[in-house]
Amino acid sequence: MPGVTFPGGVRADGPPAALSDPVRLAAVVATGLLDTGPEPEFASLAPLAATVTGCGRAFITLVDDRRSFWKSCVGVDATQPTSGRTM
């Protein structure tokens, strides 16, 4: 992203280097939330985020080493990103 500086720089494939941090990746896995179904606690967070920020869309997202997993979203008719982009 032109004009954006990330602490730790960026990986050769473009995303922030922090996405590859082993401690962060272990924490994401440890949540046990990847590839799980909807849960009321998370389903209520996306609409709250949209309201607080005044945006029509909001996402509760977990990012592992290869993809983005939407735990909850509002304002789009989808459950996962469709771009096919992996991390």
pLDDT in tens, 30-82: 999 999 999 999 999 999 999 999 999 999 999 998 889 999 999 987 655 65
70 Cβ neighbours under 8 A, 6+ residues apart: 59, 60, 61, 78, 79, 80, 81
Q: Which residue has the higher pLDDT, 84 or 23?
A: 23
What does the pLDDT read at residue 80?
Answer: 58
- Measured CA to CA in angstroms, residue 59 lies from 11, 53, 82 at distances of 24, 12, 14
What does the pLDDT read at residue 6?
Answer: 87
How large is the average pLDDT for residues 22-30? 95
**In angstroms, rounded to a whole number, what is the distance separating the alpha carbons of residues 53 and 8?**
28
pTM of the predicted model over 0.95: no
What does the pLDDT read at residue 29?
Answer: 95
**In angstroms, rounded to a whole number, what is the distance separating the alpha carbons of residues 58 and 81?**
13
**In angstroms, rounded to a whole number, what is the distance separating the alpha carbons of residues 31 and 11?**
25
On the question of pLDDT at 1 being above 70, the answer is no
